[in-house]
A and B are shown apart, each in its own frame.
Chain A
Amino acid sequence: MKILHTPLSKDKLAGLKAGEQVLLCGTVYTARDQAHKLLSEVLRKGKKPPFELASGVIYYCGPARAPRGRAIGSCGPTTSSRMDAFAPLLLKAGVVAMIGKGGRSQEVAQAIKSSGAVYFITYAGCGALLAKSVRKAALAAYPQLGPEAVYRLEVEDFPLIVGIDATGGKIRGL
């Protein structure tokens, strides 16, 4: 199985095909509904986002509380389509990969293709299992959002499946 290391360049992503299973090592940022709303406001105003989006990987996730002595709690993906309205703007700001679950809108699929990004899915509803692939978690932005805050995660062998590849190819069920 292919192992991808961050930062992910568009060259690295170009060879991936929909349906391909890969393992991710490196840094990803969690962001879901409210963080996307806030980020979009910042980007629309032309201001600097509170964390680096260029070559960034966004994980649609709001983790559960970390048990004592653990880096993170249960941390599976949330429904990607709720972030569809914001995704093209984030791609434009330099995001190269998104991780979530479920399908994307036509508009997002098009934005993925034209920017050479990739949409990955990961094992949905498997938060306990995925927590084993997270080595570190640190608050990166928007602490007021609680579980919806942005966390910087260091992941190792985090399992992904290419949902929509950089050429616009996608898994049939999405």
Chain B
Amino acid sequence: MILPMRKITAKKIGDTVAELCGRANILLRPDVLAVLRSARKNEKNRLAASALEAILQNARVAAEEGMPICQDTGLPYVFLEIGQGVCITGGGLSAAVNDGVKRGYGAACCRESVVPHPLSRGKSAYTPAVIHTEIVPSDKIRVTVFPKGFGSENKTKLKMFRPTEDISALAGFIVSCVAEAGADACPPYMIGCGIGGGADQACLLAKKALLRDVRKRSPDPVLRKLEDQVLQKVNRLGIGPMGLGGKCTALAVNIESYPTHIAGLPVAVNISCHALRSAAAVI
């Protein structure tokens, strides 16, 4: 039996992306705000507390004035979960997404942070976005916009462990990534981690892990234990908000996993600054 396809116009996708770009860059995620507020409440170190207070105040100012939370409005990532029952009409998908980013970033007074060539650089613009698509069994499209700042993206690391490696070595690696980032990437951090798949999949999972609510731990008991262990260790590093010391160097560790090869154990770490921004909608 052939089911009728649900038609979604490219324009509708572009409009949604534009709206999400504004929302993601201007309004801090409620889960991120919640963990920041709780960190502020618990911080006794005077300088660290003043930094957390400034972060919360900044979120208020950005929302009230409709300005981006951070001048680094990121390399725009757009994740699309496209239902296999959807037919996209009236234009190309990538063009529609990039048009939406341009409109959304422009209206929100973002920064043109994307150069057209990594070596010869050139004049910066809002686009192209990095677009990830996945085909899922539904008749809808879920759109997520994730502006990823590069102060934190620059600290990304991948390590291919031996499959016989002890879990504590993985924890040690993740903690070392944070130690090496120091105060460069705007702590307190949220740490995304991808374990499994191949090198590319691990890196993608690490980034996607940051899209999960930072108050929610992994439903997988092995991963949950690792998340808790890493968070505790990271918070003993003493880096603190903006490098000012205190007890919160990270606010959350989110780990995602995928099956992998018998010979391998890839681990990728993608750090986010305290201004972890994303917004999603279903069409």
B186 to chain A: which residues have CB within 8 Å?
101, 124-125
Given contacts A62-B71, A74-B68, A161-B47, whether A125 and B124 have CB atoms under 8 Å apart is no
Q: Which of A62, A63, A65 has the most CB of B within 10 A?
A: A65
Pair A173/B183 contact, Cβ less than 8 Å: yes
Q: Of all chain B residues, which has the CB nearest A75?
A: B71
Pair B240/A173 contact, Cβ less than 8 Å: yes
**Contacts between the two chains (Cβ within 8 Å), count:** 151
Pair B244/A171 contact, Cβ less than 8 Å: yes
B65 to chain A: which residues have CB within 8 Å?
67, 128
Q: How far is the CB of A123 from chain B (nearest CB, A)?
A: 4
Q: Which of B57, B69, B70, B182 contacts A173 (CB 8 A)?
A: B182
Given contacts A79-B151, A146-B112, A147-B111, whether A127 and B243 have CB atoms under 8 Å apart is no
Given contacts A78-B72, A125-B275, whether A101 and B54 have CB atoms under 8 Å apart is no
Is B273 an interface residue when CB atoms closer than 8 A count as contact?
yes
Pair A173/B245 contact, Cβ less than 8 Å: yes
Interface secondary structure of B, over-half rule: loop
Is B154 an interface residue when CB atoms closer than 8 A count as contact?
yes
Q: How far is the CB of A120 from chain B (nearest CB, A)?
A: 12
B184 to chain A: which residues have CB within 8 Å?
79-81, 101-103
Is B73 an interface residue when CB atoms closer than 8 A count as contact?
yes
Interface secondary structure of A, over-half rule: loop
Is B55 an interface residue when CB atoms closer than 8 A count as contact?
yes
Please report the C-alpha to C-alpha distance between residue A109 and residue B136 in the assembled complex, in whole angstroms.
Answer: 53
Please report the C-alpha to C-alpha distance between residue A124 and residue B113 in the assembled complex, in whole angstroms.
Answer: 17
Pair A63/B71 contact, Cβ less than 8 Å: yes
A168 to chain B: which residues have CB within 8 Å?
none
B273 to chain A: which residues have CB within 8 Å?
124-125
- Partner-A contacts on B (CB < 8 A): 47, 50-51, 54-55, 57-58, 61-62, 65-73, 109-113, 121, 123-124, 149, 151, 154, 182-186, 238-240, 242-245, 273-275
- Partner-B contacts on A (CB < 8 A): 19, 21, 34, 61-67, 73-76, 78-81, 101-103, 121, 123-132, 144, 146-148, 159, 161, 163, 171-174
